[in-house]
Structure 1
Amino acid sequence: MSSGPETGLPEGWEIRHSNSKNLPYYFHPATKDSRWEPPAGTDPDRLKAYMAKYHSSKGITPAYLDNQGGDKIRAAHLLVKHRDSRRPASWREPRITRSKEEAIEAIKVHLEQITAYENDSSDPNGKSLSELATTESDCSSARKGGDLGFFGRGDMQKEFEEAAFRLNKGEVSGIVETASGVHLIQRLE
C-alpha cells in the first residue's frame, strides 16, 4: 500500500497489490474506487519512477510472465488506437477521435524515439518501448510497460501474432495494423 507525492497519484489515491493477478492497482479508500489504470490527474513521470523503483520484478518472474508451455513467446507492445478501431476508447482517452492516419503518424514518432534509444541509450530524444508504452499506449498493458506476458499461436490477432513471431529477441517491429489499432511490438523472449 503506497500513497503520497512520491507516487505521483492525486490526493487520496493509493497503490495496492492484487494477490489474484499479481499486479499493482489503484485504490481510493474514501470513495472505494478501484482501478487498473492510473486515475486522472496522475503525474506519469513520478508514477513511472515510483513503479520502476518499488514494483519491478527485480529478477523474479511473476506468474503472469511464466512460460510453462515452452512454445510461446513473450512480447510487449505500444498501441495507438484510432476512431475506426474496434473499441475506440482507452484508459488515456474515453473517446478516441483521431484518424487512422493520425494514429500512424503518432506511432512513427514513437518508433523514431525507440530507434534513437536503441542506437544510443543516452540520447535525450530516445525512449525504450517500455517507457513509451507506460504513458502513450492505449492498451491496459501500459501499466506493465506494454508487457503482454507469454502467448502462443492463436492467442492474438493474426497480424499481431505473425509480426511478433517473426521478431528476434529484443527486436522491435515496424508498424503493425490490426482491428485494435496500430502497434509497435518488441519481442522480449
Structure 2
Amino acid sequence: MPELHTDRLLLRRWRESDLEPWAAMNADPAVREHLGELLTREQSDAAVTLMQAEFDERGFGWWALEARETGEFIGRAGLDEVDEDMPFTGVDIGWRLTRSAWGHGYATEAALSCLAFGFETLGLSEVVASTTVNNLRSQAVMRRIGMTRDPADDFEDPSVPDGPLHRCVLYRTLRKEAHGLHHSAGHGQADPSS
C-alpha cells in the first residue's frame, strides 16, 4: 500500500491505534450528519477491515489520514469504486475528518493528493465525487480541487430512504482538467516503496 505525503499530511495504511479515534468519529453526530446513522464500535472496526482488504485487492482505496506535525489520526481520504446500484459509474473521491480537523484545509490537501494518485499512478481518465445536496462544506472542497457539477447529474441515492440524505449532487473532473492543479498546490508526493 503506497503512502502519500503532502506538506502537512500523511496518507497511510490503517493501524490498530486508529480504531478508537475512527470509532469516535463514526459516533459523532456532526461527522455523520450527511452520512446517516451513527456506527457502533463493531461496525466501525469492520469498516477498517473492509477498507484494508479492498485496498490490498485493487491497489487503491481509503487511506488513514495523519497530521504529520503531531502524528495524530485525523480521518480518512481516498478513492473508491462507485457502488453498482448508483446511477453513475467510475471512481469516487472522498474524505472524512474528525471535527477538530475541520476548517484547516486538510480535506482539500488530502483530496489533491488522492487526485494526483488517481490520475498519475492509476491512469484514471475521470474522478467523480458525490454528497448530499445540503453538504455544502464537501461541495466547497470539490470545487476547490477543480471539480464541476452539472445539475443534470444530480440523483437520488437508492441506498438511502427518502429524506434529507436522499437527494445528492455529483461532481466530476477529467485528468486533462486537473493537470497541474495538484502541482501548483505543492501536494501529492507518492512514495510507492512504502
The two structures share one fold, judged by TM-score above 0.5: no
Higher helix share: 2
Higher strand share: 2
TM-score by length of 2: 0.27
TM-score by length of 1: 0.28
Structure ID, larger Rg: 1
